[in-house]
A = this chain, B = another copy of it.
Amino acid sequence: MSELSAATGAPIATIKYYLREGLLAPGERTSPNQANYGDAHVRRIRLVRALLGPGGLDVATAKDVVAAIDSDLPINHVFGIAQRAASVRLTGLGGDDEALARVDELLAGLRIHPSNPGREAAAAVIAAFESTGQRHEPDWYRRSLEAALVVAEADLDMVERRQGRDAQAETVVVGTALGDALFAALRRAAQEHVSTLRYEPVAPVEPDHREHPDVRQH
């Protein structure tokens, strides 16, 4: 077990905790107080740490998600579970009916089922947004959706590159959990880029050889 800890960087007490919580399968027993762990355990711990850390899932949700990987559910079911897991933080906040109606209008033309977790989550976010006194922003919503469709294509393409259900399931899970965080990070970079282009459009003479752009922000 200390090897597991060394290989993953997770403290032993934490590994025991994951075992207890069912996030990690028990090792192969060799005696009442001895077990062997293999490469699969190392990878699973790294997966769990990615889900709990950057992925932002809680332990109970992460458990559902790893259980889905290990199950024999078809890949689209695994996808649904991963989607719900990634939406947990926003479900149950309940956007009002008006916000739901706006969302349905926005999503008209898309082939989604009303139970899609994004629908309710989007309603909750829009309700919160407009409750702060912000105007209704259909243009912002619509363009966000256009971009979401682009990344959704990229998400599915990535999964299709994997061979076999198990590899696909793992990619679905980690891609869904980490994809949001990745996009948010890239959005930060893109915002600064676009802002700089708009407000400090000093066209570099040699676009590919320029030094650091001007310091902005802070």
Contacts and interface: CB of A to CB of B under 8 A. Distances in A.
A194 B152 contact: yes
Contacts of A197: 111
Interface in A76-120: 76-77, 79-81, 83, 86-87, 89-90, 93, 107, 109-119
Given A86-B184, A132-B174, A189-B118, A140 B155 contact: yes
Given A76-B199, A79-B191, A195-B79, A186 B140 contact: no
A190 interface: yes
B76 A115 contact: no
Interface stretch (A13-21, A57-65, A210-218): A210-218
A114 B207 contact: no
A205 interface: no
A128 B185 contact: no
B93 A149 contact: no
A25 interface: no
Contacts of A30: none
Copies of this chain held together in the complex: 2
A131 interface: yes
Provide the main secondary structure of the chain A interface.
helix
Given A46-B133, A77-B217, A125-B54, A116 B178 contact: no
Nearest to A74: B217
Contacts of A174: 129, 132, 134
Interface in A128-145: 128-129, 131-134, 137, 139-141, 143-145
B114 A79 contact: no
A110 B140 contact: no
Contacts of A181: 89-90, 121, 125
Given A189-B107, A198-B156, A212 B121 contact: no
Given A77-B217, A124-B185, 7 more contacts: A111-B213, A118-B186, A118-B188, A119-B185, A119-B188, A143-B153, A183-B183
